Structure formats: C-alpha cells, structure tokens
C-alpha cells in the first residue's frame, strides 16, 4: 500500500505545480460513493518474515529559486486639514435671585412625664458569721499573786534607793550591811533613769573603767527591751540575781546579788514599777545623741576619753502649758515658789525650771517617785500631767534660770 501511495503523491505534486502556472480548470463533479464491500475473511496469520535490509537513502532534490518581491505601491497624498471654526461668544451671566425669608421655628413640644421608679429589690440575707478563733496566749501569762499585791510607786523608789525606808528598806546601806558605795548597788547607776543604759541619757557617764572609782560602769543592756520580752518570774529572778557579784565587792561593775538584801516584796515592787509605772521618756522630750557612748580612743598616739554630745529638745511635746502652770501652782509652788527659784537644786546650782530643762531625763523620776525625805513619792503620777508640767516649765520667763 505504501508503494502505491508514493507515485500518487508525486503526480499530485506535478499537477499542483502545473495548476500554479496555467489557468485553473473547472472542477469535476464528485463521483458517487461506492457501496461498502463485504468484509473479507481474515487470513491466517503468516510467519513473521525476516527483517529486510535498510534501503539506501534517496538523493535530495535541488531547492527551487526564490521568486522576486513585488514593488511597493506609492503612498496616497494626505488631504488638507480644515480650518478651525471661530469660538462662539459667551452668554451673559444672569442676576442672582433674592434669598427667600426663613420660615418661623415651630413651637417646642412639652417634656414627657418621668416614668415611675421601680420598686427596690429585697436585701439579701446576711451570711452566717464564721466561728470565733481560739483565744491567743495571754503574754506574759497570768500575773502571780505577789505581783498583783505589789506597789509600783514603791518599786520606783527602790529603783533609785532600795535601802530607803520609803522603798521598804532599812533606812541606810549600813543598816543593810552593805559597805560598798551606793553607786555600786543602785539600779539607776548602771541602767539610767530611763532604763536605756549607755544608749540613752547616761551615754556620757563615767565609771570605774574610765577612771571614776566611785561608781560602776553604765550597762550596755537595754532594760526596757528586757522588760518587754521577759515574764514576771524572769524579771524577779534577774533582779534577785543569786548568781551576781557579792554585793560588797566594790570596784566591780557586774550585777549585784540582791538575794538576802532585798525582801521578796521589794523585788516584786520593782518588777511592777518597770512594767506599769515607768514613764516612756519619748513622751516627754526628744533626745539626740551625737557620737558613740563614752569610750577611749587613740588620738595622735594618746589614749583619750571621748564623750558623745546629748541634746534635749521639744520639752513636754504636745502637752498643755496652761494646764501645766495650773498644776504647778497646785502641787509645786508651795515649796518652790511661783517662779521655782526658792529651793535651789544640784548643790545650789539650778532653779527648778533650770533643772527640768537641763535634766529632763531625771526630773520626771523625782517628780513621780520623790526625793528621799525631802519630797514624798506620788506627787504627780499621770504621764499626761507630767507632759503638761514639762510644757509649762519650758518657759524661761515664768520659770527662769539663776
């Protein structure tokens, strides 16, 4: 079949070439389509023939010459552009019409009525209270009967001079069989009137370690803090101090053993004084201490005794001076006169006003707990009265110096 198609294609190509050169002939009518022949019976499949040799490639025919390109036709001449017509004149602007008058505002409608307030809802029920917690421990616990029976004012007297009759003592150190000097057995010597030891008003006081052989050194114990943290019995035991130094051992700054020298009632009086009658000095004045407590230090190769500077200010704090002057007139003027100059204190060197202003750390103690047989204890006991008295005596005109 392939061999038959090749001469046919070649003949059609020759005819096509001839048609390009001559005039086109009239197309013949298409012949009628013959009937489809009956399908022949498929022959038996023959044996696969041997592969024939590849035929030699035919020689390629020569390429025909390219025909000449036809000439381009000349471009037509462009028509002339018509003239632009003249612009028409602008029409005149019409006058602005008058603004019409504003219409009258309509009347404001009436305010609608306020709706009624809704009823308040019922209050919810209060929840049940939680169970009460257990009671805390009563520090420092129940007071012993001996403490309850004690007298804190007498205890203050004993803090100054436990051997005095006003403190329940035998009247003198000799009667109490004490041969050491008084400043080795008085509570105030080591602890100060304020109980702060060398951190308070006695920060600049000398003792045996600084060349003063007639008094013990000031303690570095804050007795106020001890009172706040110790039980009733602890305080009693500390005062009794069976472990202390022999009471007649002079030139010794250790705590004396008061066992056998102070009666139990006296010791309980001192405990009550410290817990209930001791006045807080911060309520009466301000104390500024500049420098370390009394001590020796090397100054240019020389051991030198150095003292801090103490300054008392704000006497009476928020007390009432008028009330204080009234109190002074009722309680003090009878002995000290209206200006406080009749009885001179500190070996004749100070008026009463001068003493209160110069030694406020000591004056309140003497006013409340007395001064031996000269002034009985209990003259003024309330802290508020002491504040008023201090406020009044800050007045150097009413209560002058010498």
User: Per-domain residue ranges for the chain?
Assistant: 145-278, 317-393
Confidence of residue 179 (pLDDT cuts 50, 70, 90): very high
Helix (H, G, I), strand (E, B) or coil at 62: coil
Alpha-carbon gap, residue 276 to 153, rounded angstroms: 9
In order of 191, 274, 307, 327, 347, the CA distances from 201 in angstroms are 10, 17, 12, 26, 21
Query: What is the reported pLDDT for 329?
Result: 98
Portion of the chain with pLDDT greater than 90, in percent: 63
* SS3 category, 165: helix
pLDDT digits (tens, 9 = 90+) for 61-116: 455 455 555 455 455 455 455 455 555 555 555 566 565 565 566 567 677 676 67
**pLDDT-based confidence at 3, cuts 50/70/90?**
very low
What is the rounded distance in angstroms from the CA atom of residue 222 to the CA atom of residue 320? 31
What pLDDT is attached to residue 370? 96
303: exposed, middle or buried (C-beta count within 10 Å: 0-12, 13-18, 19+)? exposed
For residues 138-153, give the mean pLDDT.
Answer: 93
The CA distance from 74 to 221, in Å, is: 134
* Across 39-43, average pLDDT: 49
Contact criterion met (CB below 8 Å) for 383 and 391: no
Q: What is the DSSP string of 208-261?
A: GGGT-TTSPPPP---HHHHHHHS-HHHHHHHHH-TTSB-TT--S--SPB--BTT
pLDDT value at residue 352:
98
Tell me the longest C-alpha to C-alpha distance in the chain.
178
The pairing of beta strand 309-313 with beta strand 302-306: unpaired
Give mean pLDDT, residues 384-393. Answer: 98
Rounded to whole angstroms, the Cα distance separating 205 from 211 reads 11
Q: Which of 235, 377, 217 is CA-nearest to residue 296? A: 217
pLDDT in tens, 157-169: 999 999 999 999 9
Task: Summarize the confidence of residues 257-282 as an average pLDDT.
Answer: 97
CB–CB of 250/229 below 8 Å?
Answer: no
At 122, the pLDDT band (50, 70, 90 cuts) reads confident
Burial class (CB in 10 A: 0-12, 13-18, 19+), 318: exposed
Averaged over 202-216, what is the pLDDT?
94
CATH superfamily of domain region 317-393: Cytochrome c-like domain (1.10.760.10)
Q: Please report, rounded to a whole number, the percentage of residues in the chain having pLDDT higher than 70.
A: 69
Using 50, 70 and 90 to split pLDDT, how confident is the model at 128? confident
**Selected residue with higher pLDDT from 241 and 119:** 241
């Amino acid at each position: 079949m392939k061999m038959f198609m090749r001469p046919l294609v070649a003949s059609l190509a020759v005819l096509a070439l001839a048609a390009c050169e001559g005039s086109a002939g009239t197309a013949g009518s298409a012949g009628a389509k013959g009937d489809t022949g009956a399908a022949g019976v498929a022959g038996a499949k023959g044996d696969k023939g041997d592969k024939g040799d590849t035929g030699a490639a035919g020689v390629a025919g020569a390429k025909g010459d390219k025909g000449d390109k036809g000439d381009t036709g000349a471009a037509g001449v462009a028509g002339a552009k018509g003239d632009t017509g003249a612009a028409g004149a602008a029409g005149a602007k019409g006058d602005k019409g008058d603004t019409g008058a504003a219409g009258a505002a309509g009347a404001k409608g009436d305010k609608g009525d306020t709706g009624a307030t809704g009823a308040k809802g019922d209050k919810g029920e209060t929840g049940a209270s939680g169970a009460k917690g257990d009671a805390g421990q009563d520090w420092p616990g129940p007071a012993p009967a001996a403490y309850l029976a004690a007298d804190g004012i007498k205890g203050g007297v004993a803090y100054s001079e436990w051997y005095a009759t006003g403190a329940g003592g035998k009247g003198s150190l000799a009667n109490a069989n004490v041969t050491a000097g008084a400043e080795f057995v008085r509570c105030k010597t080591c602890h100060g009137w304020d109980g702060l030891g060398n951190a308070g008003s006695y920060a600049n006081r000398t003792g045996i370690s600084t060349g003063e052989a007639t008094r013990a050194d000031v303690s570095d114990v804050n007795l106020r803090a001890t009172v706040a943290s110790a039980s009733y019995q602890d305080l009693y035991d500390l005062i009794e101090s069976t472990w202390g130094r022999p009471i007649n051992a002079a030139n010794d700054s250790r705590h004396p053993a008061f066992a056998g020298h102070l009666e139990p009632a006296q010791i309980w009086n001192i405990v009550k004084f410290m817990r209930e009658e001791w006045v807080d000095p911060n309520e009466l004045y301000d104390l500024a201490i500049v420098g370390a407590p009394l001590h020796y230090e090397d100054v240019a190769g020389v051991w030198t005794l150095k003292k801090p500077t103490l300054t008392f200010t704000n006497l009476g704090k928020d007390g009432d001076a008028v009330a204080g002057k009234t109190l002074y007139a009722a309680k003090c003027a009878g002995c000290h006169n209206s200006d406080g100059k009749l009885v001179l204190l500190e070996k004749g060197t100070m008026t009463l006003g001068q003493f209160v202003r110069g030694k406020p750390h000591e004056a309140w103690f003497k006013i409340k707990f007395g001064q031996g047989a000269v002034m009985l204890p209990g003259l003024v006991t309330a802290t508020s009265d002491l504040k008023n008295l201090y406020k009044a005596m800050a007045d150097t005109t009413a209560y002058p110096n010498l």
